Chain A
């Protein structure tokens, strides 16, 4: 099931044959990680250059070249080694919780990591250096540089997985690390409550109206309003609950009136019954996506 969000979600087939969905990391967060990495390597290079300068190993006229070489000699192994050691994460990527992933579902290969990080030189550092060093007087090189920079920036924006050229060549893309958060099962809650008295009884015709979408929307509402035995909500929340209860009652033609203090309990009980009902149907091969399931079925 793909979560219905505006996020850019991509499916990957694991070797076990179970598709897993990942949120593709956007250009912004990747730039953030890049900046962190540049800071880390830049500080290391600066420290080394200062050491070389104070030790008198290089004269002032060559210090600029020495600095460039030091930065270069630090950053190239840094990216490759950190992504190898930390499974596709540099320090910046760890910091922002993003990660490189192999297209084909297999493990990241050394070759892929080397390739995507060497291409980074052409895609990130070459435009960066060009911006810093170009001479405004010379029109043709400036225009070429502009074209190159626009091109490299446009490539990730033009494909769905936000891959840059190096990602294409290496067969990788970058994702947000998923955070597993185990929430309590709502039905356990309702079951505990239903232990004592069966105050709300739902029959089969009550439960034939809604589908999975409505059920999961109700799930979100119930989770946000706390446990069923929580104190009665007030203000806007209470008004919303009253509205939802009313809508559901009308839709399913539930005759019994619900006093405001019982609304939350009613919704929990309804959620429980509805989920049991829909899951039962699903087990027997009838998936009900939403409340239009009857129309869709008759169309087919």
Chain B
């Protein structure tokens, strides 16, 4: 008797109300403690009730004019949707997959852009080297004074050697590590990646300029006949560090290329897709910079011998190369 008095939409609500309240309970539980802590029955009910609530919402929009009910169902469905479609990944798993699979794969996929990065740096270094021998005054043009640390064509060979083989390795390793991370090259790496999106040009120019600095600096030491000593000094962390800059440049160029040549996609969509690979390149570069900082902070003070420095620097470089070329190949 009572039911016949109610209008259709009120009966619709009466039949389903208990389920909605149950779903609400499950949703707040899932939000509080996470899906993986719920029992099998609860997780199953959550998914099933969510779909029922979504159906109820679709029906209610057609048959009901009760605004309060529509708003409730909308909010409930939205809340349940958010818990049902939550990312189900463990942080440890994400990290492991990144290093064993997705990062090397992204590097191999973007090999053209990474190669452009290395070419920019290499050409810059060559230009800087040759220009120095043409006229030593170029050194002052390229080299920012704060980076040179007082070293220049005016310094004596002895002074240059003193920096390379520190007589007094003052300061703690941690301090040097931290100082390194905020040094010139980290900033360069961040900028070449971030500015690449502006049509590649800033990334390429900055990397080229960084190469110029390197080339001029190296030429100064070769001029004095201590090229090998500098090579050792630079290699121990520089192989890793400069590669990181080149990879960051590759990421930046990849973003810029997506803006320049979006192909059949819209530019934002092309940028979004390029971002997937580019972000991984940036993360790899960041990781390499941290390793370089460790090598710089601890390795360079502890190891004063030229050959050991060369071996460590290039050995680490080879390890990077093997990791990039081989890791994650077996998986499909």
Interface residues of A (CB under 8 A from B): 1, 3, 14-16, 18, 20-22, 52, 57-59, 61-63, 65-66, 68-69, 72, 81, 84-85, 87, 99, 101, 105-111, 113-115, 118, 121-122, 168-171, 177-183, 185-188, 191, 194-195, 212, 215-216, 219-220, 223, 272, 275-276, 278-280, 282-283
Contacts and interface: CB of A to CB of B under 8 A. Distances in A.
B65 A279 contact: yes
B63 A15 contact: no
Interface stretch (B53-61, B124-132, B152-160, B225-233): B53-61
B10 A187 contact: yes
Q: Is the interface of B mostly helix, strand, loop or mixed?
A: helix
Contact of A81 (B71, B91, B178): B91
Contact of B181 (A69, A276, A280): A69
Contacts of A180: 24, 72, 75-76, 79
B66 A186 contact: yes
A220 B68 CA distance: 9
Interface of B: 2, 5-10, 13-14, 17, 20-21, 24, 31, 34, 51, 54-55, 57-58, 61-72, 74-79, 81-83, 85-89, 91, 94, 171-172, 174-179, 181-182, 190, 194, 268, 271-272, 275-276, 279, 282-283
Contact of B65 (A85, A107, A114, A282): A282
Given A1-B70, A169-B275, A191-B5, A62 B65 contact: no
Contacts of B94: 84, 110
26 contacts: A1-B67, A18-B57, A22-B78, A61-B175, A62-B179, A69-B178, A107-B86, A110-B89, A111-B279, A113-B87, A170-B272, A178-B74, A178-B78, A181-B72, A182-B20, A182-B21, A182-B72, A188-B6, A188-B10, A191-B2, A219-B68, A279-B9, A279-B63, A283-B8, A283-B62, A283-B63
Contacts of B79: 177-178, 180
Given A87-B31, A194-B5, A282-B63, 9 more contacts: A58-B172, A65-B178, A65-B182, A105-B85, A107-B86, A118-B279, A170-B275, A185-B66, A187-B10
Nearest to B20: A182
Contacts of A115: 275-276, 279
Given A59-B171, A62-B171, A282-B63, A18 B58 contact: yes
Nearest to A105: B85
B54 A14 contact: yes
A34 to B, nearest CB: 20
B65 A215 contact: yes
Contacts of A118: 279, 282-283
4 smallest CB-CB distances across A and B, nearest first, come from A62-B175, A178-B75, A65-B178, A87-B86
Contacts of A111: 276, 279
Contacts of A194: 5
A15 B85 contact: yes
A223 B78 CA distance: 24
A18 B193 CA distance: 40
B312 to A, nearest CB: 23
Given A110-B87, A118-B279, A20 B7 contact: no
Contact of A171 (B77, B174, B272): B272
Q: Which of B64, B77, B83, B171 has the most A CB atoms < 10 Å from its CB?
A: B77
Given A68-B182, A180-B79, A187-B10, A16 B5 contact: no
Contacts of A52: 174
Contact of B75 (A16, A171, A179): A179
Contacts of B20: 182
A272 B65 CA distance: 11
Nearest to A274: B65
Given A52-B174, A171-B272, A181 B75 contact: yes
